[in-house]
Structures are given as structure tokens and as C-alpha cells.
Structure 1
Amino acid sequence: MASLKEVKTRINSVQSTRKITSAMKMVASAKLHKAQGAIENMLPYQRKLNKILTNFLSADLPVESPYVVERPVKRVAIVAFSSNGSLCGAFNANVLKLFLQTVGEYRELGQDNILIYPVGRKIEETIKKLGFFPQGSYQQFADKPNYSEAAALAHTLMDLFVNKEVDRVELIYHHFKSIGIQELLRERYLPIDLSDMGNQDAESGVVNDYIVEPSAEQLIADLIPQVLSQKIFTAALDSNASEHAARVLAMQVATDNANELIQELTKQYNKTRQQAITNELLDIVGGSMA
């Protein structure tokens, strides 16, 4: 059995750890509050903007967009969102798992035909270890999402697709639903998928009949870059909020575990101390009777 000093040392150590995890939970909660507000304000706007675009492209108009063209996939780009830091539970492990699954599906294309855009230090370090060459570094974007960086990345991806340097672009990121639920998503970014929106319109009875001014060509030229840039920005906000939520939960679990361990160690300390006192009393009584 451990000595009183050893048990006391462990109690002090766990108490110190509890202070750290509790403080980290408070910091993550404060960051989550801000990130949650940002994504909750952005999502309705992004969804409505995306619906306008897909409804318009699905309409019977004489204009076609190069961003909806389906081609045989010979080269693919993957944008994966992770965190820069750790201590957020299985957040990064889940991203990595889905990323490896996605890469596995395109393995036959060859490593040179899989372009990876890592948003976050964890996924960037991982792909380097796997032998991939990241197409840029976006660690600052992962910590503090901003529209200008999102637009720059979106235009890079759009140029690659229009110039036929890639035939498909996919996004991997966490969607923030609540503090307890972060849904890992894999979405097709390019070409734009119109099938789902077409089904929704059929069910709701919406007729895509538009009068466009000044021209359909001008509307497409203005709307598509804005929608696709907004999509990258929203994904970054989603991932950022999900990271903080995952860290809040992880630190809460760690704090709860520390509390339980402190209780167990305190019981062990009291039991050991009581036994030591009993032994001393027995020695005293035994000595007086001798």
C-alpha cells in the first residue's frame, strides 16, 4: 500500500491538473460563445444564398455555368478542416479518419493527382507524415476565419476547376449543431450539385421562372464566386465552433474524472492514515502490557 506522503502527492498533482482543465474549459466556453454566435448568424444567410444560386442554375435559362459541368474524375482537390491545437477529444482524429477514407477512394488516381488543402495545423502535419505535399498553409485561417482568406482559397479552387486542372473538389469539416453534437461532413464543393435542390423544388411546387436583369450571364458571373467563397467561410466558422465545443466537452470530462480521482485518493489517504494511527495505538498498548 502507498505511503501517506505518496497519496498526498498524487492528490496535490490531480488537484493541479483539475485547475488546468477547469481553466481551459472556461476559456473554451468563452471562445465557443463568440464562435457559436458567428456561425448561427452566418448559416441562414449562406443557405439562402446557396438556394438562390441552385434554383437559378436549375431554371430553364439559356445560360450554362462551367461550375456545374460533370467530368470524369482524373484529378481531385480535398479541403480538410482541423484545429491548430489539441485537447479537443476525438475532433481531429475523426477528421483524419474521414480524410484517409476519402483519399483511399481516390488512391487509383495516384498521389500526384490528389491535391490537399489543409486548414489547421493538425491535418497539415498529418498529411506531411503521409508523404503528401500540402497546397499551402492555412493555420491562421483555422484559428481566426475571415472572409478574405476564404475568398482567396475559393477563387484558387474555382480557377483549378474551370481550367480543368481538377475535376472535383471536396470539403471535409465539422458542422456545429450544438455543444454536444458536432457532425462530421464530407461535401462536394465543385461541380455544384443541383440534384438535391431540384428534388426540393419538385416537392414544394416551386417553379423556377426568373426575369433576370441586366443579364443571366452577369448574374452568374457575380453570384457564383460569392456563394462559393461564402461556403468556404461558413465551413471554417462551422469547424471553429465545433472545435471549441469539442474542447469544452473534453475539458469537462477531464475535470469530472479529476474530481472522481481526488475523491478516491482522499478515501485511500484517510484509510491509510487511520490504519497507521491504529497500528501506533496497538504498539503503545502492547508496550504498556509488556
Structure 2
Amino acid sequence: MAQLKEIKSRIQSVRSTQKITSAMMMISSARLVKAQRLIQSLYPYGQSLYRMLQLLAAGQEEGIDSPFLQTRTVKRVAIVAFSSNTGLAGRFNDDIAEKLKKVVANYMPLGKENILLYPIGEKVAKAVRRMGFKPQGDYSAISESPFYHNAQQIAGKLIEMYQKGEIDHVELIYHHFLTKGSQVIIHEPFLPIGPDTPYDGKTNITKPTAGKPSPDYIVEPDRNTIMTHLIPKILKVKFYTVYLDSVTSEHAARMTAMRIATDNADDLTEELTLEYNKLRQQSITNELLDIVGGSFDRTGG
């Protein structure tokens, strides 16, 4: 009897857990749909801005005078890594932490004081502290709120530091959403930016076909003036795109993890129910044998 009660208790516990994982799966699924709509709307806009940069650069024979296009000797680097604040998303956060360690290891010859780490999300912030680095700010509160003004503030800070020469290179580490069941880690440069640099991890903006002349535009007031305003905007939109990409990937990873957990709970419930029924049947059989045995003794058989 005690064993039957224990199995019954386990079945109830698994079912309770299954209700939680199923609810989390549905929540993540709803959030994923919303995030997908945002990023699908943003991609064409960002790519169009970047296409403008390519066209302006192609028509500038003397080159573009912009600090954001100038490659420098890297003496000080900033690395931005995106994760989530919470777990239960498979290896989503662990993969980011592992990639960050590898990237940081490559820059260790510069010295720890010349490696600035910007963790967006509590999980990667903990990884940064375990590595012996001090995070450059606390961005955990905005990690799950993919609003443009949040991305604009962080990107604006990095742009300003780059302009002042406080950093020479900026890199991004994040998950890129492919499908609901597949997200890949992207490690790419953020600054400096160039016409030949891919805009995002999804699509490379193609350059004009060799041998074909670029479209001839009349540019007013002049190319450099437009570039002065266009490049910072491209960078901020790109940062926001990466931000959204990471959040979208997080929801997809959590939805997948919770679906697997829910399916596993189903399997475990079936196994425990089968075991419970076997033990119950065995218990009933033993009771019947005891009754029959007692009856036989009373009749003197």
C-alpha cells in the first residue's frame, strides 16, 4: 500500500509540473510570434539603410571621411553579449557564455583592463563575473524588454566611445533565429562598419555585379554630410535588430525546451500509471487469495 501511495504521489507531482511546463510553452510561443513580427518588419528597413550606405560608398571615388569606417590597431576592445535573465531555455545561455570565453581568450594579450564586456542579460552577466571581469553596466532590467530606446542608449554609448578613441573595436555575440527549433550563435563586428560588412547574420547585402555601373544619383547636400547622419542610424538599427534577434531566439529556445519537458512528463506519467496499475492489480490478487485461503480454512478443506 505504501508503494502505491508513493507512485500516486509521484504521478500527481509530474502532472503538476507538466501543467507549468505546458503553460510556459504557450507563453513563450505567444511571445515568439510577437517578436517574429517585429524583427520581420525591421529587417527590410535596416537592409535598405545599409544598401544606401553601399550605394553612397560606391559613388565616392575619394573615399568617405567617417571615423566609423576607419580600421584601427586594436588596443582596447568592447564585446557585447546577449543572453536571457532566466533559465529553462536549453543551452541558450550556456552556449553564449562558452562563446564569450573563447572570444575573450583571443583578446587576453591586450590585458584584462583593455577588454570591456557589456552583458545584456543576467545569465551572461554572471558568466562575466565568473571570468573575473567587471560588467560595464547592469542591463538585466532591459534584457527582456526589446524596445528601440533601450538599444539606442547602449549603441549610442558605444558609438560615442568609438568616436572619442576610447575603444578601437566593438564585437557582438548573440543568437540568430533561424526556425523555432534552430538558433545559431553569431559573432560579428559592430564597429568599425564598412560597405562590405554583412548587415546581419541572416542576409548579406550583395554588392553591384562586376562590370555593371552603379546607379548614378544626385546627392544633396553631399555624400559626407549624409554619411554623418546615416551611419549612426544604421548602427543603432543594427544593434536593435541584434537585440530583437536574441530575444526571438530566447523565446524559441524556451518554447522548444518546455515542449520537450511536457512530452517527457507525458511519457513519465504513462510509465508510472502502468506501474501503479500493475501493483494495484497485484495487491487485489493477493487480497483475493487471502480471502479464498481464509474461506478454505473455515470450511475445513
Matching residue of 2:181 = 180
Matching residue of 1:26 = 26
**Separation (CA, whole Å) in 2 of partners of 1:99 and 1:177:** 21
Matching residue of 2:235 = 228
Structure in which a larger fraction of residues adopt helix: 1
Matching residue of 1:138 = 139
Matching residue of 2:74 = 73
AA aligned opposite 1:153: I
TM-score normalized by structure 2?
Answer: 0.90
**Separation (CA, whole Å) in 2 of partners of 1:204 and 1:173:** 37
Q: What SS is found at the alignment partner of 1:174?
A: strand
Indicate whether 1:103 and 2:110 are aligned: no
Give the superposition deviation at 1:287: 2.6
CA offsets 1:139-170 (integer angstroms, 9 cap, x no match): 23321122222222112111222222211100
AA aligned opposite 1:260: D
Give the superposition deviation at 1:2: 7.3
Alignment check: 8 A CA contact 1:60 1:208 kept: no
CA offsets 1:57-109 (integer angstroms, 9 cap, x no match): 34434332211111222211001111111111111111111111111111111
Matching residue of 1:116 = 117
- Which moved further from structure 2: 265-274 or 109-118? 109-118
Count of paired positions: 290
Distance 1:221 1:234, change over 3 A: same
Matching residue of 2:271 = 264
Q: What SS is found at the alignment partner of 2:207?
A: helix
Give the superposition deviation at 1:241: 1.0
Alignment check: 8 A CA contact 2:58 2:214 kept: no
**Separation (CA, whole Å) in 1 of partners of 2:141 and 2:210:** 42
Give the superposition deviation at 1:48: 1.8
**Separation (CA, whole Å) in 2 of partners of 1:160 and 1:206:** 37
Distance 1:196 1:161, change over 3 A: closer
Indicate whether 1:248 and 2:252 are aligned: no
Q: What SS is found at the alignment partner of 1:3?
A: helix
Q: What SS is found at the alignment partner of 2:171?
A: strand
Q: What SS is found at the alignment partner of 2:208?
A: helix
- Which moved further from structure 2: 139-148 or 96-105? 139-148
Alignment check: 8 A CA contact 1:56 1:208 kept: no
Distance 1:204 1:245, change over 3 A: farther
AA aligned opposite 1:10: R
Alignment check: 8 A CA contact 2:46 2:238 kept: yes
- Give the unaligned 5+ runs of structure 1: none
**Separation (CA, whole Å) in 2 of partners of 1:126 and 1:204:** 49
Matching residue of 1:92 = 93
AA aligned opposite 1:272: L
Distance 1:2 1:262, change over 3 A: farther
Structure (1 or 2) with the larger CA radius of gyration: 2
Alignment check: 8 A CA contact 2:83 2:122 kept: yes
Matching residue of 1:41 = 41
Matching residue of 1:57 = 57
Q: What SS is found at the alignment partner of 1:117?
A: strand
AA aligned opposite 2:79: I
**Separation (CA, whole Å) in 2 of partners of 1:262 and 1:206:** 67
Give the share of equivalent positions with the same residue, in percent.
Answer: 47
- Give the unaligned 5+ runs of structure 2: 199-204
**Separation (CA, whole Å) in 2 of partners of 1:265 and 1:103:** 47
